[in-house]
Amino acid sequence: SRDPYPGVYSSVTKVTQVADGTEEDAAAYQEQLDMLYENPDPEELPKMKLEYSSETDEGPLLLEPFNFEWQHSDGMGSYGVSSHGISIFECEEIARIDLDGKTEMKLYFAGKMDSVTAVRWPSELWGTATAEEAGDGEEVALTEEEKAAISAAESGYVYQITATRPEGYVEFAFLTE
């Protein structure tokens, strides 16, 4: 199976693959690609793009972290530390997604992550419970860490995605209805 390129372009309405390529074919364009690529800025918090499609809603959805702890080096040996330190139940706003059944959700991050985990709680707890009252939540299996995906996201839950790499961790949240 082929995965679509995760980019979103406002003027592109359809893409058709006309032939399969090889790594050797792509190597001819490496110089042009190198001119376009920029390494992620280690001071910037990674964002997460969530791709999904159901009969009632579709998206890519770009999420900012609601919680994080992040360190970076300026190359001179000094570090900056950033942290936010709130629980998912303290978020004032949360992305809402309409699902009509079990739906695959692909998770894309700015930069490679060392690990990605997912936990969910019943949606009625969000906005009414404290983190202590809600408890640890239910772990959600992810398919692959290189290209993490929730194979069967369900409506009626609030999901927390935690991604880590050497600079620290970032946490993202969304609610399914």
Tens digit of each residue's pLDDT (9 = 90 or more) over 127-177: 888 888 999 999 999 987 557 888 888 999 999 999 998 888 999 999 999
Which amino acid is located at 163 in the chain?
A
* Cβ contacts of 107 within 8 Å, gap of 6 or more: 48, 49, 50, 116, 142, 148, 149, 150, 161
8 Å CB contact between 113 and 164? yes
For the chain, how many residues are written? 177
Whose CA is closest to 158, among 170, 168, 144, 172? 172
Distance (Å, rounded) from C-alpha 65 to C-alpha 150? 18
Distance (Å, rounded) from C-alpha 121 to C-alpha 115? 21
Distance of CA 151 to the CA centre of its chain: 14
- Strand 79-83 relative to strand 95-97, pairing: unpaired
pLDDT in tens, 66-95: 988 888 776 666 566 667 778 898 888 899
CB-based burial of residue 168 (10 Å sphere; 0-12 exposed, 13-18 middle, 19+ buried)? middle
Provide the pLDDT confidence category of residue 109 given band limits of 50, 70 and 90: confident
The C-alpha angle with vertex 27 and arms to 25 and 28, in degrees rounded to 5, equals 75
Residue in this structure with the two tokens 């074919």, named with its chain if needed: 25
Model pLDDT, residue 37:
66
Which amino acid is located at 122 in the chain?
P
